[in-house]
């Protein structure tokens, strides 16, 4: 049952030089694609912004691939690195 719930979860990692509007830009893309933000953590280390976000794509009207591409485009616009992966894959990678 845990497996079924995690198949609709995605992990988003954002990193790069800190600037205004990073969280807003990512949150707007997620809202446009009907992805719910379930958890978010961010920090700034010596002017370097790092954010981890857990999203739920259960109600998304677009595919995982389309959501990932939209977030990567936002990353390019922000001059940030944005990685998007399914939580199931993330969990398996970190359980090895």
Domains and CATH numbers, the chain: 6-94 (3.30.70.260)
> Among residues of the chain, what percentage have pLDDT more than 90?
79
When pLDDT is averaged across residues 56-65 and rounded to a whole number, the result is 95
Higher pLDDT, 91 or 43: 43
The answer to whether residue 91 scores a pLDDT higher than 70 is no
When pLDDT is averaged across residues 45-72 and rounded to a whole number, the result is 96
pLDDT at position 3: 43
pLDDT digits (tens, 9 = 90+) for 23-40: 999 999 999 999 999 999
Q: Which long-range contacts (CB under 8 A, 24 or more apart) does 71-78 make?
A: 71/12, 71/26, 71/29, 71/30, 74/25, 74/26, 74/29, 75/14, 75/16, 77/25, 78/16, 78/19, 78/21, 78/22, 78/25
């Amino acid at each position: 049952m845990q497996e079924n719930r995690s198949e609709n979860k995605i992990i988003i990692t954002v990193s790069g030089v800190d600037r205004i509007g990073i969280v807003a830009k990512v949150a707007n893309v997620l809202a446009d694609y009907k992805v719910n933000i379930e958890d978010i953590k961010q920090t700034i280390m010596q002017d370097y912004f790092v954010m981890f976000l857990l999203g739920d794509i259960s109600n998304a009207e677009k595919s995982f691939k389309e959501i990932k591409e939209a977030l990567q485009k936002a990353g390019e616009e922000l001059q940030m690195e944005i990685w998007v992966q399914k939580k199931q894959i993330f969990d398996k990678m970190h359980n090895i």
